[in-house]
Amino acid sequence: MLSGILIFNQKGENLIFRAFRSDCRPRLADIFRIQVISNPQVRSPILTLGSTTFSHVKHENIYLVAVTKSNANAALVFEFLYRLILLGKSYFTKFDEEAVKNNFVLIYELLDEILDFGYPQNTETDTLKMYITTEGVKSAIANSPTDSSRITMQATGALSWRRSDIKYRKNEAFVDVIEDVNLLMSATGTVLRADVNGQIVMRAYLSGTPECKFGLNDRLLLDTSDTSGASKSRGGGGTSGAGKTTRAAAGSVTLEDCQFHQCVKLGRFDADRIISFVPPDGEFELMRYRATENVNLPFKVHPIVREIGTTKVEYSVAIKANYSAKLFATNVVIRIPTPLNTAKTTERTSQGRAKYEPEQNNIVWKIPRFSGQAEFVLNAEATLTSMTHQKAWSRPPLSLSFSLLMFTSSGLLVRYLKVFEKGNYSSVKWVRYMTRAGSYEIR
Amino acid sequence: MAMNKIRGAFAVPRKGETFELRAGLVSQYAYERKESIQKTIMAMTLGKDVSALFPDVLKNIATADLEQKKLVYLYLMNYAKSHPDLCILAVNTFVQDSEDPNPLIRALAIRTMGCIRVEKMVDYMEEPLRKTLRDESPYVRKTAAICVAKLFDLNSSLCLENGFLEMLQEMIGDPNPMVVANSVTALSEIHHTAPETNALQVTPNTLRKMLMALNECTEWGRVTILSTLAEYRAADIKESEHICERVSPQFQHVNASVVLAAVKVVFLHMKYVGPELAKTYLKKMAPPLVTLVSSAPEVQYVALRNIDLLLQKQPDILNKELRVFFCKYNDPPYVKFQKLEIMVRIANDKNVDQLLAELKEYAMEVDMDFVRRAVKAIGQVAIKIESASEKCVNTLLDLINLKVNYVVQEAIVVIRDIFRKYPGYEGIIPTLCQCIDELDEPNARAALIWIVGEYAEKISNAGDILGGFVDGFNEEFSQTQLQILTAVVKLFLKRPEKAQGLVQRVLQAATAENDNPDVRDRAYIYWRLLSNTSDQDATKSIVLSDKPPIVTTISSLPPALLERLLQELSTLSSVYHKPPEQFVGQGRFGADAVQQAAIEEQLQNARENPLAAAAAAAVSGTTPPAQAQNNVENLLDIDFDGGAPASAHKNESGGMSGLGGLAGTPVRVQSPAVGAPAPAPAGSNNLDDLLGVFGDSGPSQPSSSGANGSGAAGDLMNGFSGLDLSGSTSPANSNQPKKTNEDILSLF
């Protein structure tokens, strides 16, 4: 598997070099620097030279590189690198050159723990934080054998994500349903692609070892209530087509696909579509899902862009909110790309402020609060300087970002969250919905 | 004097960084010692050689501070090789630590011991390893399991003698899922490096254990178990069904590598279950595959390459998901290219309108490489879906009317292929002929000339057009020259009255003034054919014969290779679409391998620029020195890859070999989606065939160029093998073209 993990800064200096196998030699660092970092033509994340393969990921201002020698599992290598980034972020909030330089001892320690002989081991942040910490405190804990045997139990146990002795005075669980709407709309207003990437983030502050059951208005979940579970898993695909439209009308949602945190019992979900799990303590991502049918688009944008000769571009952008008047979106930002040779711009808006940002080649139109059903317009004009050689403007798409509370584009709702625990305590649950812009682009 | 100098060189330096570090390491204060160890590790990372501090660092090994212990161990792992004797001093601590009451320390000791690759250490490892394999803490057991693999790597006979393998095999039945996963990992590694040990044998019992552990162990453990399951051949249908049923819930895992591994297992075992059930699983695996497309770009890339493979085997699993593969503006190019290929693969008559609109959009972007691929994709769709051909042609005409130079050129090449399949679109020829002045690439020019020759009877000014090309005949690339030759002959056969003079001129130019044997050969053939007065029709039926129809221009892998690659899903092999032995070298290369590598590199170059290479090869007949030098340079280049850094570091890294080592093997495998501009169909085909990698998409090339193309490639091959061996052309090689010449002539 992995022969070594290397971290570089943008200049190509080797910040971390950890070999896990004898075939990862120091010289490889130079080879990667020459072949990838100082080579502007590299366009692939994977490079094989002879028997050595470098797989790299760029994050902030560092390169994370995995060296492999055999026909390694490429998906695993990249997933691992991204997990390393995630770990780095949760340890140092920002995982960049600065953080690596300041914490290199800790990083070596982490690498030692999460990889053994090049095989990934436990990479759960919460577990690792129990015995690898930024402060020196951990030595105290880890040195007493009873504590550390507890830690190792958790690091390898079936519930590797949860300690057994958690106690809260007040038992609470917060559920956030966060949806990223992706839209690709053509210049004429046809929707080319619209889908929702949702995630359900849970913050659980529950005592003991609680067993949770979670219900959504997913069409398949609702379906199972009338058909038996066994027949469902076999022939489910065939019968579902007919019920689609009626179900959608009845307020259920078709989830194209879902993925769960490892605490969810996948076998159970597969058999009878019940999401049941023992949650880790604190915040975690319970599930991710994808929906493509009946996506409610919160905003409609109508851009008109006219290039007048070679010296001027005229914009007229209208944006309309498509949700109930009771709700309002915040931080609505519309980025309107301008040609690279824009000299100056003039903008008029019916709401919010627009500003030209030369370094981004954008006109940025910000509307801090956008109430439902409202419609605003921006008129702008960009004057261009003449260039010595005319290069075509690629016309990047307009992009939109926003966040909208208590609205889900897919129409997903949490129907119930039940907590069962030996102690039989009552718990308080909170649910919050939010829709954000994923890549919301209009050509 | 000399003695003094030598002594001076060996003396411990009195100042400088090493001196300061040493002072810190032996300080009486614990915190100073720890700080110095940290600094030492820092220096080590920066590539400085701090092995001289070995004894001093070693003194700090016996400490209660876990963090410090880890640092010392890290240092030990790195420099143990340079001080094998001194390592013995650490053994005692290791053995002691492996019996520590703290499981973290026990695990750390056994983990580190395995990483110290010194023969002497091995003797002391046996006992601690045996103990830790039976440790009460699962954390220690799972670490010890991996350590067996380390020991096997170091000294396999010792590992076998002590029965560690049997112990590992027993551990598959361990109650702890992580121990199971790591035992499987270790066994599978041993099994793959030394198949004769038969380390990992899946029995019904172990299968049950693994399936149990699958739901409980870490995501990485799942990948291991799944990969093992994928390699396992089920005993009967029942077992296959069982495996599929237990594995398919993993499609829902958040980790993309688990999903891909699960897809692999189900896909491979699906063959044995009933068709109905298999269909259900295919349906089930589609949504997770689509979800992979929204992951991080690098993961996405791996996923897309794998989806490409799956689609070649099961073309319609994703046919409703076209929109998912639409390119985003800021997708990295490697992802975009791959998405294009997949979109063409899943195109059908229902989604083709949508796809064409999208492709047209891409063709108007600015990234030249991407635009060309988009235009090419339109052509592929036209040939794939007959009902859409008209729309495709119209789209291409729209694009030609934009008058963007590279779009026009690519469009013409694509239209040539469309004419091969649907000869009925002659109405657009006038539009094409208008662009004649804009074409500067040999491939595009050749394509247009082929079209003119093919429709010579319908183009009233065909003679004038070709006349223009004949005037500049000797300035053209050989590829274009061949097409001019053929087109003029076709014109002559179709309308003899118009082209009498033209034919004379072009044959004259091609035989008397041209250096390229291929062009000359073809001209001679035509000459002979035309001067054959006994049977006029014979000539016609040869030159104007019906061409074999094109089925598709979408490249696909030969079935045997595809089968092979499906076994390798989610590995590098599936990303490169090549079997592993083609890119996983063995480190050091023998003479044969170096030569092979050089040939491959040349072929790689040739594929990127078939014309130049072909020309070079052809020229080599007359001007060997240039070619030879070229090759020698290439060989130097290759050495440079691994050799230059190697020599720079030679002193530091001690016993390492200069050239050989790790990066020594010069074959550079490029990610397929990222290659240089799309290779010309005809040239690349022949070269590919030669390599036997990509199989043939033969029908896509005009038959006339087939024979000579492969000839050229063959010459190439000969040329290289000759050159690489000796560094100068062998006489046999330079004779070759002439000989074939004679052969052909004597035929008539």
- B46 and A14 within 8 Å at the Cβ level: the answer is yes
φ, ψ for residue B698 (rounded to 5)? -45, -50
**Could you tell me whether strands A282-291 and A257-260 are parallel, antiparallel, or unpaired per DSSP bridges?**
antiparallel
Residue B98: strand pairing partners: none
Chain A residue closest in CA terms to B111: A116
Which residues, 6+ apart, have CB-to-CB distance to A392 below 8 Å?
Answer: B366, B404
On chain A, the residues whose CB falls within 8 A of the CB of B256 are 75, 78-79
A307 touches chain B (CB under 8 A): no
A58 touches chain B (CB under 8 A): no
Give the helix/strand (H/E) hosting A5. Answer: strand A2-9
Residue B719: pLDDT above 50? no
Give the helix/strand (H/E) hosting B381. Answer: helix B368-384
B715/B696 Cα distance (integer angstroms): 20
Task: Kindly report, residue by residue over B531-565, the tens digit of the pLDDT.
Answer: 877 777 778 888 888 777 777 777 788 888 888 88
Interface of A with B in 389-418 (CB under 8 A): 391-394, 396-397
Compute the average pLDDT of residues B160-170.
Answer: 88
Average pLDDT value for chain A: 79
Higher pLDDT, B708 or B247: B247
Alpha helices in A132-185 (DSSP H): 138-143, 145-156
End-to-end Cα spacing for chain B: 85
- B227 and A73 within 8 Å at the Cβ level: the answer is yes
When mean pLDDT is compared across A102-116, B425-439, B575-589, B621-635, the lowest value belongs to B621-635
Q: In the prediction, which pLDDT does B674 show? A: 41
Task: Kindly report, residue by residue over A195-217, the tens digit of the pLDDT.
Answer: 888 888 888 888 887 888 888 77
Higher pLDDT, B601 or A40: A40
The most confident of B165-174, B434-443, B466-475, by mean pLDDT: B165-174
Task: Kindly report, residue by residue over B262-289, the tens digit of the pLDDT.
Answer: 999 998 888 888 888 888 888 888 888 8
Residue B736: pLDDT above 50? no
The most confident of A72-86, B151-165, B683-697, by mean pLDDT: A72-86
Pick from B143, B251, B584, B600 the residue to mutate for testing the A interface (most A CBs within 10 Å): B584
A51 touches chain B (CB under 8 A): yes
How many other CB atoms sit within 10 Å of the CB of residue B242? 17
Side chain identity, residue B241: E
- For residue A16, give the nearest of B45, B64, B177 by CB distance: B45
Chain A residue closest in CA terms to B286: A257
A136 touches chain B (CB under 8 A): yes
Higher pLDDT, A358 or B338: B338
Compute the average pLDDT of residues B122-130.
Answer: 85
On chain B, the residues whose CB falls within 8 A of the CB of A236 are 280
When mean pLDDT is compared across A283-292, A352-361, B355-364, B695-704, the lowest value belongs to B695-704
Chain B residue closest in CA terms to A289: B291
Q: How close, in Å, is residue B237 to chain A by CA atoms?
A: 17
- B46 and A265 within 8 Å at the Cβ level: the answer is no
Please answer whether residues B75 and B110 qualify as being in contact, where contact means their C-beta atoms are separated by less than 8 angstroms.
no
- B670 and A44 within 8 Å at the Cβ level: the answer is yes
Chain A residue closest in CA terms to B302: A75
A235 touches chain B (CB under 8 A): yes
pLDDT band at residue A81 under the 50/70/90 scheme: very high
On chain B, the residues whose CB falls within 8 A of the CB of A122 are 178, 218
Residue A233: pLDDT above 60? no
End-to-end Cα spacing for chain A: 43
Pick from A156, A284, A293, A391 the residue to mutate for testing the B interface (most B CBs within 10 Å): A156
Compute the average pLDDT of residues B602-610.
Answer: 57
Q: In the prediction, which pLDDT does A82 show? A: 92
Residue A374, both tokens: 């409202």
Asked whether the whole model's pTM tops 0.80, one would answer no
The count of C-alpha atoms lying within 13 angstroms of the C-alpha of A433, restricted to the half-sphere facing its C-beta, is 14
A131 touches chain B (CB under 8 A): yes
Average pLDDT value for chain B: 75
Q: In the prediction, which pLDDT does B738 show? A: 40
Nearest to B516 by CA among B737, B740, B706, B713: B737
Give the helix/strand (H/E) hosting A380. Answer: strand A375-384
On chain B, the residues whose CB falls within 8 A of the CB of A186 are 357, 361
B518/B619 Cα distance (integer angstroms): 11
Residue B479: pLDDT above 60? yes
A184/A397 Cα distance (integer angstroms): 9
Pick from A14, A24, A33, A48 the residue to mutate for testing the B interface (most B CBs within 10 Å): A48
Nearest to B94 by CA among B111, B80, B82: B111
Q: In the prediction, which pLDDT does B655 show? A: 37
Residue A404: strand pairing partners: A329, A435
Q: In the prediction, which pLDDT does A77 show? A: 92
Residue B502: pLDDT above 80? yes
How many other CB atoms sit within 10 Å of the CB of residue A255? 23
Please answer whether residues B86 and B58 qualify as being in contact, where contact means their C-beta atoms are separated by less than 8 angstroms.
yes
Using alpha carbons, list the distances in angstroms from residue B30 to A102, B36, B54, B60, B63. 21, 10, 18, 9, 10
- A288 and B42 within 8 Å at the Cβ level: the answer is no
Please answer whether residues B180 and B210 qualify as being in contact, where contact means their C-beta atoms are separated by less than 8 angstroms.
yes
- B324 and A70 within 8 Å at the Cβ level: the answer is no
Q: In the prediction, which pLDDT does B600 show? A: 62
On chain A, the residues whose CB falls within 8 A of the CB of B230 are none
Residue A319: pLDDT above 80? yes
Q: Residue with structure tokens 């044997």?
A: B517
Nearest to A108 by CA among B35, B78, B71: B71
Residue B46, both tokens: 């920066």
Q: In percent, how much of chain B has pLDDT > 90?
A: 5
Which residues, 6+ apart, have CB-to-CB distance to A13 below 8 Å?
Answer: B46
Residue A68: strand pairing partners: A2, A53
Q: In the prediction, which pLDDT does A335 show? A: 87
B98/B9 Cα distance (integer angstroms): 40
- For residue A259, give the nearest of B107, B254, B668 by CB distance: B254
Residue A180: strand pairing partners: A197, A436
Q: In the prediction, which pLDDT does B303 show? A: 92
Answer positive or negative: Cα dihedral of B522, B528, B529, B531: positive
Using alpha carbons, list the distances in angstroms from residue B172 to A121, B177, B182, B239. 17, 9, 9, 19
Q: In the prediction, which pLDDT does B660 show? A: 36
Q: How close, in Å, is residue B190 to chain A by CA atoms?
A: 12
Give the helix/strand (H/E) hosting A275. Answer: strand A275-277
Task: Kindly report, residue by residue over A321-376, the tens digit of the pLDDT.
Answer: 888 888 888 888 888 888 877 888 888 888 888 888 888 788 888 888 888 888 88
Task: Kindly report, residue by residue over A247-305, the tens digit of the pLDDT.
Answer: 444 467 777 778 888 788 877 777 777 788 888 887 888 888 888 877 888 888 888 88
Task: Kindly report, residue by residue over B577-597, the tens digit of the pLDDT.
Answer: 888 887 775 543 333 444 455
B590/B76 Cα distance (integer angstroms): 34
- Strands of A14-19's sheet, edge to edge? A14-19, A2-9, A62-68, A52-59, A46-49, B668-669
Chain B residue closest in CA terms to A23: B662
A47/A33 Cα distance (integer angstroms): 12
- A78 and B299 within 8 Å at the Cβ level: the answer is yes
In total, chain B counts a number of residues equal to: 748
Please answer whether residues A3 and A67 qualify as being in contact, where contact means their C-beta atoms are separated by less than 8 angstroms.
yes
Pick from B176, B245, B299, B641 the residue to mutate for testing the A interface (most A CBs within 10 Å): B299
Q: Is A359 exposed, middle or buried (CB count within 10 Å of its CB: 0-12, 13-18, 19+)?
A: exposed
Residue B9: pLDDT above 60? no
A428/B522 Cα distance (integer angstroms): 86
Q: In the prediction, which pLDDT does A148 show? A: 65
pLDDT band at residue A85 under the 50/70/90 scheme: very high
pLDDT band at residue A225 under the 50/70/90 scheme: very low
- For residue A441, give the nearest of B296, B329, B645 by CB distance: B329
How many other CB atoms sit within 10 Å of the CB of residue B76? 24
- A397 and B329 within 8 Å at the Cβ level: the answer is yes
Chain A residue closest in CA terms to B658: A27
Residue B716: pLDDT above 80? no
